[in-house]
Amino acid sequence: MEIKAIILAAGKGTRMQSETPKVLHKIMDKTLLGYVLDNVKNWVTESFVIVGHHAEEVEKFVKDNYRTAKTVLQSPQLGTGHAVSMVCPFLENYRGQVIILCGDTPLITEKTLKNFVEYHNSNKSDLTVMSTIFENPTNYGRIIRDTDNSLKCIVEEKDAAPEQRAVKEVNAGIYCLNWGKIKDAFSQLSSNNAQNEYYLTDIIEWGKAQKLNVNAYILKNNEEIYGINSRINLAEAAKMMNNRKLNELMTNGVTIVDPECTWISEDTEIGQDTIIYPSTYIEGKNTIGRNCKIGPFAHLRGGVELADNVKIGNFVEVKKSKISSNTNAGHLSYIGDSEVGAHVNIGAGTITANYNPITKVKSKTVLKDNVKIGSNAVLVAPVTVEEGANVGAGGVITKDIKARALAITRAPLKIVENWIKQ
């Protein structure tokens, strides 16, 4: 059955204390909303992102990065049920499924979402809500079950009676709907509650009243629905995400020398027997081969492809570059917008000057196989150093270098004797 997604991203995020919309705050240089959209982009046919606060910024982010997603404005913002109702005109004749998510829950995984939809289908549900268990359920809506343990309703904390607040099963904020059967609920919701808002949670009671098959799927790992409401939450979520990634890598044969001070993005793939040394920070989407050595104090900024047996040493920064096997960049270098061959040695202090601040154009540096770059060299892009060529220490390279040539731009050494008088 066809499935579409609705992502709630209209909130102001007051506790973030920021001019940036909450869903555009980042973990490992990727937005919170980006994590959610990436989890559905490969298996839903279309995503609707509900925008409100700083709508133009969120709209631009979605338009620039997600071809199958569109934004829908919620103004004024009258609650989560009202937010979903904004999409109803776009789905008037749609009869497939809809999955509803929150744009500030970056820890949810694609696997969990697919398992959730599978549960919905296998139970022949019309409406399924995701729930989880918290020992301290403060701030979450409570899952209220009937005496036969079936789902009865969801009660928001501000509307909950004391015995309901004691319930530890909470609403995870993710729903799967058979749209054709549920869509009428959004024109029949009431705002008779403590917030005077139209709650999305009220569709549970509506579905029960319509004799529809309503179920709750209990998520075992409650970390996945951790929501971001403050900078403190943002930092905590980043730690959770990083620990999850490091544990996955170590389980699959990557050595992380010190997990306490190593950061690696979820979108980075690393081959077996690679060693990641302390204080390394790897953000964005990257592919690292087998038997590589990265760090200490290395920084990979995204768009990096390292083949097998590559060494990226201390205080080396790499961005948007492809580096072939058995190449070393050992110390204090910057490699950006580059294509580097195999068996290349990049001396300490070398940089690729890839950005022209006047034209604002970034250009490419190409180093072919077996190139040797001396220390403190500057490679001014666009430039190509052909196979086997050497660049002398301190060289400023502004022209292409032919194969097996030596390029030297260093001024002759001049020694003035008796400079210091005794």
Active site residue ranges:
331
Contact 223, 107 (CB under 8 A): yes
**Greatest C-alpha distance within the chain:** 103
Q: How many other CB atoms are there within 10 angstroms of residue 92's CB atom?
A: 7
* Sequence-distant (≥ 6) Cβ neighbours of residue 357 within 8 angstroms: none
| d(C-alpha 80, C-alpha 50), whole Å | 10
> φ, ψ for residue 316 (rounded to 5)?
-110, 135
Specify the amino acid at residue 292.
Answer: C
Contact 203, 106 (CB under 8 A): no
* Sequence-distant (≥ 6) Cβ neighbours of residue 10 within 8 angstroms: 50, 51, 52, 53, 55, 74, 77, 83
How distant, in Å, are the alpha carbons of 119, 221, 261, 401 from that of 112? Answer: 10, 10, 28, 52
How distant, in Å, are the alpha carbons of 38, 89, 197 from that of 58? Answer: 15, 21, 23
DSSP 34-50: HHHHHHHTTT-S-EEEE
Radius of gyration of the chain (CA): 27
153: exposed, middle or buried (C-beta count within 10 Å: 0-12, 13-18, 19+)?
Answer: buried
| d(C-alpha 303, C-alpha 164), whole Å | 49
Contact 77, 52 (CB under 8 A): yes
Q: Is the dihedral of CA 21, 22, 24, 27 positive or negative?
A: positive
| d(C-alpha 330, C-alpha 37), whole Å | 37
* SS3 call for 63: helix
| d(C-alpha 336, C-alpha 421), whole Å | 47
